[in-house]
Amino acid sequence: MNRSRLRTVLLVSGALFAVAPIMAPATLAPAAVAATLPSFAELVTKTRPAVVTVRVEGRGQADTAMPGLPGADDPAMREFMERFFGKMPNGRPAPSERGPKAVGLGSGFIIDAAGLIVTNNHVIDGAEAITVILQNGDELTGTLVGRDEKTDLAVVSVKAGHDLPTVPWGDSDAIQVGDWAVAIGNPFGFGGTVTAGIVSARGRDIHSGPYDDFIQVDAAINRGNSGGPLFDQDGYVIGVNTAIFSPSGGNVGVGFAIPTNQARAIVGELIKNGSIERGWLGVSIQPVTREIADSLGLAGAKGALVSGVVEDGPAKKAGLKLGDVVLRFGGTEIATLRDLTTAVAQTAPKTETQVVVWRGGKENSVTVHTGTLPVAKTAAAVAPMEETGTDLAGLGLSAQPGNEGLVVTEVDPASDAASKGMLPGDVIVSINQEPVLSVEALSDALDSARANDRKSVLLLVARGGDQRFVTIELSDA
């Protein structure tokens, strides 16, 4: 019989397993194959004693749920992007608060011999009792030190009566795609489980919050790994395992970890204050597309377009305006929206910061004194993005009383405007950052844009109390 076709079927604990021999490639001797793969035995021996199981009891849900990521409003994202604990997926109701207490299991790691432990916020969220189980089986009562929902981090403390083993923080900025990564945690209740893989990508935004900057790994991460450490090959913590992408609820080789250079600062603040105080700018922003950049005369699709300014907020007081494009915040170049939200959040409240914006075809500098991020807000809110249109043809327009813009009275269903989402009742407030007071003024603005070889114009459109910018490509005229 051909050895490559050999299959042995075993019955173990009522389960069938198909076992096939693993053959080394004919071109490589077994010793040569082994020499190309590292052993993580020394790393595991050194680090595993500091990795713990976190057991929580509360009226929340048990560890059988694999819910969607917070903030993932898209149904497909809710279906596939699954956290280990939290709200139930696909809109199913959570267990009754009057029902029996549920037990959840997660992971954590000790960073201080006195008993400080890092885990995920969603592991301890809603917990009425926290128990930390050490690798030697000792069970200790956990006390919540602090938590941060926006970055999904939490710190728990225990009192062991003696020094506990710890693991060191590493430098997540030093890792490269293709480097080895080792995860240790408590998947499905199997404490101290070790898996290995490589760093698949860096800087992943999985739409779980405004500060997403995840490390992606292909090491096996499953339910219960939440809050556990991700190590580099030298045994330094480079991430906190937090989420998976999974159509089935189990590992498919796409896991995400919070990088330690983000986590370490948050954890330090939680230990010190129990919560996070973030800077606040008081604006809504949206991406700068190529069409928007062209309409504003900006070289390249970069920066963050201000689509809303909060009354009495720091930005309003500093003179930031609708239509400004933020290019620099302090010493940070703003290429994407995340650059701005992160930079603002990391700035202490009341800090004086120079902000460079694109306005009127040139760079302008304003001085902002950051505020304190209010509860349930983000440092710089991301506005919904509207599809770009190709022509103003097909729109019926009329001037609003009080010179507050042009009302869209009708939309030709066959027009590009309709296909791009324009609706009757929309109000065109401005074009290329100039107020629109009449249909004639709109026509003049379009002619001016064509005369200046602009390929598109920028409209500020109001609907239902919200405002957003929409680019319209100009047709030949």
Exposed (0-12), middle (13-18) or buried (19+): which is 177, by Cβ within 10 Å?
exposed
Exposed (0-12), middle (13-18) or buried (19+): which is 33, by Cβ within 10 Å?
exposed
Q: Do 160 and 184 touch, CB atoms closer than 8 A?
A: no
CA distance linking residue 332 with residue 71, whole number of Å? 26
3-state secondary structure of 447: helix
Catalytic residue among 63, 107, 122, 232: 122
243: left (phi over 0), alpha (psi -120 to 50) or beta: beta
Label the pairing between strands 102-112 and 81-82: unpaired
Catalytic residue among 148, 152, 212, 416: 152
Q: Do 211 and 151 touch, CB atoms closer than 8 A?
A: yes
> Residue 271: in which H helix or E strand, if any?
helix 260-273
Is 226 among the catalytic positions? yes
Nearest to 154 by CA among 188, 120, 114: 120
Catalytic residue among 157, 200, 208, 226: 226
Q: Kindly state the tokens that stand for 333.
A: 């170049």
Q: Kindly state the tokens that stand for 5.
A: 């076709």
Nearest to 212 by CA among 221, 201, 223: 201
Is 152 among the catalytic positions? yes
Contacts of 75 (CB under 8 A, 6+ apart): 90
Nearest to 250 by CA among 209, 305, 195: 195
CA distance linking residue 194 with residue 53, whole number of Å? 13
Is 365 among the catalytic positions? no
At residue 347, what are phi and psi to the nearest 5 degrees? Answer: -95, 130
Exposed (0-12), middle (13-18) or buried (19+): which is 384, by Cβ within 10 Å?
exposed
Label the pairing between strands 127-133 and 51-58: antiparallel
DSSP state for residue 422 in the 8-state scheme: -
Tell me which residues are annotated as active site: 122, 152, 226
